[in-house]
Amino acid sequence: MAVKIVPAHTVPGHKWPTRLELTTLMEEQTIEDLDALTQMGGARRLCEMLGADMEAGLPHPVSDFDERRAEFGENKFEERKLTPYWKYALRQCKEKIIVLLLFMATLELVVKSIWGKDQDERTEAIAESCVLYMTVCIIVNVAALLDWKRERMFEALTKRLAASNKRFIIRDGKQMEVTDQDICVGDIVSFNAHMAAIISCDGIFLSGKDVKTDESALTGEPEPIAKNEEHPFMISGTTVNAGGGTMLVIAVGDYSIAGKIKKSVYGQGETEPSPLYSKLHAMANTIGAVGIACASVAFIAMCIWSFGVHKKDAAELLDIFLVTLGVLACAIPEGLPLALVIALALTSNKMTKENNLVKTLNSCETMGSATTICTDKTGTLTTNRMTVRGANITGLDIEVTTGGSVGQALKDDSRIQADLKELLAHLCGCCTMNESGIRYEPGSSVPTFQGNPTECALLKMAQEMGFDYEAIRNEVVGRSPTTLDQGSAKVFTSSRKMMSWTVRRPGGGYRVYAKGASEIVLGRCTRLHQAGDIRDLSEIEAKHIMDTTISKFANNAMRTIGVAYRDIDMLRPDALDAATLNSDGSPAYACETGLTLLGVLGIEDPLRPEVAPAIAKCYKAGIDVRMVTGDNLQTAIAIAKGAGILNMELHCDKAGQVLPKRAMEGKDFRKYVHDISNGEAVFNQAKFDQIWPYLRVLARSSPDDKLTLAKGLNGSQVYKDKARCAELLRDDQIVVFPDRQVVAMTGDGTNDAPALKSADVGFAMGIAGTQIAKDAANIILLDDNFASIVVAAKWGRNVFDSIQKFLQFQLTVNASILIINVICAVADKKSPLTVLHLLWLNLIMDSAASIALASEPPTDQLLERPPVNRNDSIVTGRMLVNIVGMACYEISLMCGLLWSYEWIPDLEFHGLEVATGKKSKHYTMLFNTFVLLQVANEYNSRFLRGEWQIWRGLSKNPLYLVISLGTMLVQVILVQIASPIMSYPLKIHPEGLSAAQWFICIGFAAGTLVVQQFLNLAYLAVSFALGIPSEGQRPK
């Protein structure tokens, strides 16, 4: 319906309240201030002052939206100021090694340009110093650019998260789903404890029943606060934990209560570094210490030879210092922690494209170690496209023709009286949340479900029966927006597993409509409709309904929903029935007992086609999958078998029945793993350890069960009991991971938040998930699909592999540079690698290599080995063989070329001797060979487990090829094309190298590829001889 609303500020003599008045009202939160502002008109008058209708909201579109934003602000927090590029560059300039290099370059420029022996030395000093400045400038800018881009990647992530936060508002009398930024002052926001629990702006309570909010995060008050006309102030940043209703928005963004608090503490929180980051940082310090020791040895040796033996002048000390600094620049692997940050940042971006919105970067790494995934069923394993496929109404099975619908069959079935059809349609329309609805896009006949998919299926059935659910909601007293205070809503909770809505009956009294888990609703019924009559429901009949109708639907993998009602004389919404208990032991609402059963509906939610293959990949990868669902046990088992969670050979007997402990109901699970002490249930880890290795399906579970699973799996020490692990493997083919369990948990409800927080990695549903669940999670599944979790596991393992690849590459270069320089220093041989050579190598090693190797995409082979053990060393035995073997090849080759070089073609002569030393073709070849060795070895480092096809996957990583070929191109330019210019600073031959010399350099570089294959074969031979299993192989 279209509602004509005139913006308040266009009415003569009328204007909006000021922003200060509204924010002061929220700060003081007194009824007296509200009455003073509205001249005793209350919330309705405030709506009028802001140009909104109390029931219909603002017009759509809001013509004065921009004016409202200008006056009251946007509903978003002020963006944190990003660090400018120059600050990152300045931070890099303060690094000790950079400061030392700049100091030495300046010292050389001043000393040698003034007191140089001849013009050549002075020219060389100027050229070398200038190139040093340029090189330092490049290093500083590359590091600053990486930091600058990383911060902006985080900012983009924050904006993506904000865009995923959806709210419900009312405009033109229609409910709309919008983002936070689309809300303005004057909007009417719809909220409830089930799907719209987060209050994102300050407001005034307008309508609702039994509304309570949790304000403990702001006020410290542990008890929920009731909200009504006497206590109308809804505070941003709080959550609704009971009831539902509407509120008028009066303060948004930075001007709201939460906005002011956030602004005052912006940027104070610091995250703890991940275990892998800490490991890498410690390793970098250790390697750096070794590098400093080696550089010190080289420095002392060069000083002894220069001043003690050759009696050179003090100017030689500058050259020695510069060479030592170059060694230190390469020896200190500051790129190790940087490589992890780059790998995580690149991974998070890639994962977003594959429907994993990463909130915390460390969770990418943790997923590589995941050993267990505890997943929901609805929407994660299934499509979440609910359809009513079966129905038993008043004891009559509804036959559905091929291609037909249950709603149409009900409409056409003459056995069911018209008043019962109307009763069922009213139940569907009344006993569902406002946020649940069906929309049709212009020009489309395919319905779009909005809100809860199960409720949407019921509403679609009502439509097919010929009823307008929106008209029912607007006409029934106690359910319509204007008469909500005459009814009572009890929204769904996991402890009750049902929902009810009490409305007025036209003839007097009240009617309670109830729907929920079929066995729960059936247990609350004392009467039933059958063949047009209402009679008492006996235990035998209840069991018959359970064994026939409910079991039949459940065995066909349908979710079973019981629908019932009760007529009462008086409205007592908070009255309790101590004789009837909910699943958590709390007394049931009296209005939800003594019901009359109307029927049972079977709702089909088909299994996603990609789920079964994804779960097969999980088991192959050593990741156990456990399904945790609120559905009944039979439905859960049927879905689990179809998905492959329950394997007919491993988890079922010959008759196809599930073996003990493999599938349980929540109530049995809780009894099994808890002891009763002083009337309270106390978790028993030992009992939990007796059951969890077998458990695959937990049905009729509560959020507390999820929390118990997460904490119990994390705390389990079963892996230390080697005898039991061997017994589980022998008798039940159950492999227990040889370290603590790393748990990934999915959740969509508000009550799932503690379990998501407790798990190592929490996955919230991006479509069906509540905002609280999303806030608690580490990763948001944008498509609510289990297959996307497997993608996250693959990317997580890829992060660890990327770090190992970079580590293997860098440690090889580090070892080679250190040992070559120490050998040259001790042997009184001029090192072929000058300070500028070493800085160029440092650029290749740290920044370029970390990006190249971190950008390697994951392969399916990553899921063919067990999870990463977080307590294992980062450097594996095979990596150590590769590092030591390749370093030996590079060192022996360089030393061989350094001392034995007469055979090299096209070398120039000084008299009868071959020219050597700086600016000679001999030393130019040495420098060129060493750089090409690293370029070639970078291809070897792409693989960690003896793979011989080093070209595999190159076409999928263009960034790697660009960096590798770019490095090669720059090397050719430096040595060959720009050699006349670079001869002085780089101390290379001004004519470059001949074709034959290039061929030799490339040949030696290609030798690394051959050496790597030899190392692979040697490792395999030794492993086979010693009986060592291949790395990544699951124990048998």
Catalytic center residues = 376
DSSP class of residue 945?
S
Where do runs of H (alpha helix) occur along 255-274? 257-264
d(CA 377, CA 786): 9
Q: At CA 751, angle to CA 580 and CA 447, rounded to 5?
A: 100
Query: Who contacts 458 (Cβ-Cβ below 8 Å, separation ≥6)?
Result: 388, 428, 432, 515, 561, 601
Helix H or strand E segment including 987? none
Cβ–Cβ contacts within 10 Å for residue 962, how many?
Answer: 13
Asked whether 186 and 248 are in contact (CB, 8 A), the reply is yes
Asked whether 582 and 496 are in contact (CB, 8 A), the reply is yes
Residue 531, classed as helix, strand or coil, is coil
DSSP, residue by residue, 358-409: ESSTHHHHHHTT--EEEE-STTTTB----EEEEEEETTEEPP--TT--HHHH
Dihedral sign (CA 85, 90, 96, 101): positive
Query: Who contacts 1012 (Cβ-Cβ below 8 Å, separation ≥6)?
Result: 882, 886, 937, 940, 950
Phi and psi angles of residue 837, each rounded to the nearest 5 degrees, phi first: -60, -45
Helix H or strand E segment including 660? none
DSSP, residue by residue, 860-908: GGGGGSPPP-TTS-SS-HHHHHHHHHHHHHHHHHHHHHHH--TTSTT--
Q: Which residues pair with 213 in a beta bridge?
A: 225, 240
Phi and psi angles of residue 512, each rounded to the nearest 5 degrees, phi first: -100, 120
Task: Give me the count of residues in the chain.
Answer: 1036
d(CA 415, CA 94): 86
Of the candidates 898, 735, 879, 750, the one whose C-alpha atom is nearest the C-alpha of residue 823 is 898
DSSP class of residue 652?
B
Asked whether 476 and 490 are in contact (CB, 8 A), the reply is no
Query: Who contacts 865 (Cβ-Cβ below 8 Å, separation ≥6)?
Result: 621, 622, 1031, 1032, 1033, 1034
Q: Contacts from 163-168 at CB under 8 Å and sequence distance 24+?
A: 164/357, 164/766, 164/774, 164/780, 164/782, 165/198, 165/200, 165/771, 165/774, 166/771, 167/196, 167/198, 167/200, 168/196, 168/434, 168/435
Provide Rg for the chain, Cα atoms. 36
Residue 108, classed as helix, strand or coil, is helix
